[in-house]
C-alpha cells in the first residue's frame, strides 16, 4: 500500500534520507517518521520542564494548559480513580495529535497514516482495558461480566471486545490516510493553492481524531472501572 | 485482467459512495439534535458536545470502513494479479 498513492505529493523525506544514509535501509519508513515526532515531543517536554517556575512562562505554560485541560476532562468521566490512567491517556492524545499534524509538513508522511501505528496504539488500549478491569474488580469478578446479563450472550460480548481495537485503529488510520490521499490527488490536479483548504480541514480532523481516540479510551476504561451493574 | 481493474474501480466508487449515505444521514440528525439541546440548555453545552463527538465518531467509523475497503480495492487489491 505504500506505493501507488502520493504520486504528485513531491519528494518524501525518508527515502531521500535513506539514499544519503544507507544503513537506515533496514528500518521501515514509518519508524523513522515516528522518531521525528518523538524527538519533537521530547524536545518540547524538556523545554517545558527544564526550568520549572511557580508562575509558568513559555513552553511550560502551554504544556501545563494542555495537561490540565485533559486531566480535567478525564477526571470528569472517571472520577478520583483516574489517577493511574491519566498519564497513558494524555500521552496518547499528544502523540496522535503531533503525528496527525506532522502530515502538513512538506515531505512528511504522518506515522498514523500507516495502519501499523494505530493498531499498536489500539492494542495497548485493548490490554490496558482488561488489566485495569481485572485490577479493579478482581480476576474472577472481571471475567464474570462476559456472562452477563445472560450466559448465552458470551459470544456477543467477546465480539464486542474484539471490535474495540479494530474500530479504534481503522478509524484513526482511515481518517489520516484518507485525508492524505485526497491532498495527494488535489496536488496532482492543481499543485498550487487548491490543496490548502483541504490541508486546513486535515488539521481539524486530526484534532478531532486525536480527541476521539482519547475519549473512546476513557469511555472504555470507565466501563470497566465504574460500579458493577 | 482489464475486467478486474474496471470492476475494482467501479466497486471502490460504489463502496465509498453508498457507504457514506448512512453515516451522513446519522451525523446530520445527531448534529441537529445536539444543536436543539444546546439551544434549549446552553449551560449543558460542554457535556452535549463531548457526547455528540463520541457518537459521531462511532458513526463515522462505518464510513471509514467503506473508505478502507475502497482504498484496498484501489491500492492493495488481492485479485489484481
CA distances from B77 to A28, A106, A116 (A): 22, 28, 19
Q: What is the pLDDT of residue A5?
A: 43
- Residues 15-54 of chain B with CB under 8 A from chain A are 50, 53-54
Q: Is residue B80 part of a domain?
A: no
Predicted confidence (pLDDT) per residue in A6-53, tens digit:
444 567 777 778 888 777 778 888 888 899 999 999 998 888 887 777
Number of domains in chain B: 1
Q: Is A171:B61 a contact under the CB 8 Å cutoff?
A: yes
Domain membership of residue B31 as a residue range: 2-75
**Average pLDDT value over all residues in chain A:** 83
CB atoms B64 and A219 under 8 Å = no
Q: List the grid coordinates of B67.
A: 473508505
Q: What is the pLDDT of residue A227?
A: 57
Residue B29 — very low, low, confident or very high, per pLDDT cuts 50/70/90?
very high
Q: What angle do CA B60, B71, A104 make, to 5 degrees?
A: 75
Higher pLDDT, A206 or B1: A206
* CB neighbour list of residue A36: distance below 8 Å, 6 or more residues apart: A102, A108
Residue A109 — very low, low, confident or very high, per pLDDT cuts 50/70/90?
confident
How do the domains of chain A map onto residue ranges? 13-225
Nearest-CA distance from A130 to chain B in Å? 21
The answer to whether residue B75 neighbours chain A at the CB level (below 8 Å) is yes
The answer on pLDDT for A2 being more than 60 is no
Q: What is the pLDDT of residue B81?
A: 66
Q: What is the pLDDT of residue A8?
A: 43
Give the whole-number percent of chain A exceeding pLDDT 70: 94
| CATH number of the domain where residue B11 is located | 1.20.20.10
Question: How far apart are alpha carbons B54 and B48 in whole angstroms?
Answer: 10
* pTM, rounded to two decimals: 0.83
Amino acid at each position: 500500500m505504500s506505493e501507488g498513492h502520493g504520486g504528485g505529493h513531491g519528494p518524501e523525506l525518508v527515502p531521500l534520507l535513506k539514499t544519503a544514509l544507507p544503513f537506515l535501509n533496514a528500518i521501515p519508513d514509518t519508524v523513522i517518521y515516528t522518531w521525528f515526532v518523538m524527538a519533537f515531543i521530547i524536545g518540547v517536554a524538556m523545554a517545558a520542564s527544564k526550568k520549572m517556575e511557580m508562575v509558568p512562562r513559555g513552553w511550560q505554560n502551554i504544556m501545563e494548559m494542555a495537561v490540565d485541560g485533559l486531566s480535567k476532562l478525564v477526571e470528569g468521566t472517571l472520577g478520583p480513580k483516574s489517577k493511574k490512567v491519566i498519564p497513558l491517556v494524555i500521552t496518547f492524545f499528544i502523540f496522535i495529535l503531533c503525528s496527525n499534524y506532522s502530515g502538513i509538513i512538506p515531505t512528511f508522511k504522518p506515522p498514523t497514516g500507516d495502519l501499523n501505528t494505530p493498531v499498536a496504539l489500539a492494542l495497548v488500549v485493548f490490554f490496558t482495558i482488561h488489566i485495569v478491569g481485572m485490577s479493579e474488580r478482581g480476576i474472577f469478578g472481571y471475567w464474570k461480566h462476559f456472562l452477563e446479563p445472560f450466559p448465552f450472550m458470551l459470544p456477543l460480548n467477546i465480539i464486542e471486545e474484539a471490535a474495540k481495537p479494530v474500530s479504534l485503529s481503522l478509524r484513526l488510520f482511515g481518517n489520516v490516510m484518507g485525508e492524505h490521499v485526497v491532498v495527494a490527488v488535489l496536488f496532482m490536479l492543481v499543485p498550487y493553492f487548491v490543496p490548502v483548504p483541504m490541508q486546513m480541514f486535515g488539521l481539524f480532523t486530526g484534532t478531532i481524531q486525536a480527541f476521539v481516540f482519547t475519549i473512546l479510551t476513557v469511555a472504555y476504561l470507565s466501563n470497566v472501572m465504574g460500579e458493577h451493574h | 485482467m482489464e475486467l478486474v481493474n474496471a470492476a475494482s474501480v467501479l466497486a471502490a466508487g460504489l463502496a465509498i459512495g453508498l457507504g457514506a449515505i448512512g453515516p451522513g444521514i446519522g451525523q446530520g440528525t445527531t448534529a441537529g439534535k445536539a444543536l436543539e439541546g444546546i439551544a434549549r440548555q446552553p449551560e449543558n453545552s460542554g457535556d452535549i458536545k463531548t457526547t455528540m463527538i463520541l457518537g459521531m465518531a462511532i458513526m463515522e467509523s462505518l464510513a471509514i470502513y467503506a473508505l478502507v475497503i475502497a482504498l484496498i480495492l484501489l491500492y492493495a487489491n488481492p485479485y489484481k494479479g
